[in-house]
Each structure stands twice: as structure tokens, then as C-alpha cells.
């Protein structure tokens, strides 16, 4: 019995070392997922932020057509990287609606001039109230919303070139 007790500290140390090594090599997924997946879009009405382009409201997302709702900002660097993919999605016929977070109209107009404008509508969310109501934790972030206004899919982060086809398919399947 005493011999076994001598090995116990070494066994506990090895187990602790294995646990720490596992945590170092496979970090936890820190992505914050929306609790709104499968739920209707909350009621909201956002004023337009860009002259000549309408704002966005929840009723418009219940018009029978699926949409991609993109949360973005002119000050967001990943949003610049995402812009070409949004333009590809628009060229593929995906209806894209925008929610501008804590932005200024002049800055947003320059952003759209430089990077392209894939949006049918852009709503101004100056306090991130709608962003938070959707369960979004940052920018950019996109949601596939079906024609009844139900959130089907959340894409956290910028849309990468290899993800465009899957997102277009998700919007098409949302009919």
C-alpha cells in the first residue's frame, strides 16, 4: 500500500500537466452565438443613414423573401476585407440589408464609395440596440433571415471567399 502512495503525487502531476497541455493546444471556442437562431427578428425600425437609401425595419424582413442581414461599420477593418464577398453575393442575387453600427453618415458614404455598396437598405443603429437584440457580439456579423422574418443562420466574423457559396445556398434554401 505504501508503494502505491509514493506514486500518487507523480500521477496527479502528470494528469494536471496533460490537462494544461490540452488547453494550450486546443483553445476554447470563444464565439458568442446568438440565442435568436430559430426565433423571429425582434421588432425594430432604423432610420436611414445614407442619403437616397432607405432605412431598415423588421416588417421589411417579413416580406416573403429571404435576406442576408449584415452588421457592419465604416471603422471596422474586417468589414473592408468582407466587402468583395458581399459584392459577389449581391451579384449572385442575394438580397443584402445592412445595419450600420455607431457610424457617421459621411464616413459610411466614403466606405461604400471605396468598397462597393451591396446593400438594398442600410439602417442606422447608433447605440447598437438592434445589434444586441439580434444577439450579435461584434462587427462584421451576418444573419440569414427567411421570408417570415425568422433568423436561420448566424455567421460570426467576416465572410471569406470560400464561404460565399455556402451563404448564398443558405439564403436560397431559406425560401
| Position 4 confidence tier, pLDDT thresholds 50, 70, 90 | confident
In a domain, 88, yes or no: yes
In a domain, 16, yes or no: no
Q: At what angle do helices 77-91 and 164-173 cross, to 10 degrees?
A: 60
| Position 16 confidence tier, pLDDT thresholds 50, 70, 90 | confident
| Position 23 confidence tier, pLDDT thresholds 50, 70, 90 | confident
Contacts of 72 (CB under 8 A, 6+ apart): 79, 82, 98, 99, 100, 101, 139, 140
Residue with cell 459577389: 88
9-23, 40-54, 63-77: lowest mean pLDDT where?
9-23
Q: What is the CATH number of the domain that holds 147?
A: 3.40.30.10
In a domain, 54, yes or no: yes
Domain count, the chain: 1
Q: Give the cell for residue 175.
A: 425560401
Mean pLDDT of the chain: 92
Give the per-residue pLDDT at 35.
77
In a domain, 19, yes or no: no
- Per cent of the chain over pLDDT 90 is 77
In a domain, 20, yes or no: no
Give the per-residue pLDDT at 24.
77
- Per cent of the chain over pLDDT 70 is 95
Amino acid at each position: 500500500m505504501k508503494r502505491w502512495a509514493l506514486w500518487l503525487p507523480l500521477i496527479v502531476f502528470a494528469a494536471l500537466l496533460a490537462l494544461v497541455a490540452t488547453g494550450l493546444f486546443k483553445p476554447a471556442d470563444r464565439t458568442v452565438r446568438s440565442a435568436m437562431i430559430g426565433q423571429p427578428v425582434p421588432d425594430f425600425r432604423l432610420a436611414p443613414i445614407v442619403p437616397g437609401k432607405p432605412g431598415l425595419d423588421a416588417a421589411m424582413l417579413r416580406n416573403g423573401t429571404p435576406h442576408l442581414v449584415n452588421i457592419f461599420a465604416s471603422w471596422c477593418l474586417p468589414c473592408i476585407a468582407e466587402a468583395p464577398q458581399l459584392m459577389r453575393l449581391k451579384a449572385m442575387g442575394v438580397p443584402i440589408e445592412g445595419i450600420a453600427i455607431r457610424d457617421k453618415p459621411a464616413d459610411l458614404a466614403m466606405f461604400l464609395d471605396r468598397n462597393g455598396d451591396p446593400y438594398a437598405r442600410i439602417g442606422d443603429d447608433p447605440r447598437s440596440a438592434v445589434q444586441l437584440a439580434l444577439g450579435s457580439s461584434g462587427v462584421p456579423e451576418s444573419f440569414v433571415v427567411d421570408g417570415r422574418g425568422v433568423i436561420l443562420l448566424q455567421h460570426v466574423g467576416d465572410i471569406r471567399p470560400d464561404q460565399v457559396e455556402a451563404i448564398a445556398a443558405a439564403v436560397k434554401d431559406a425560401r
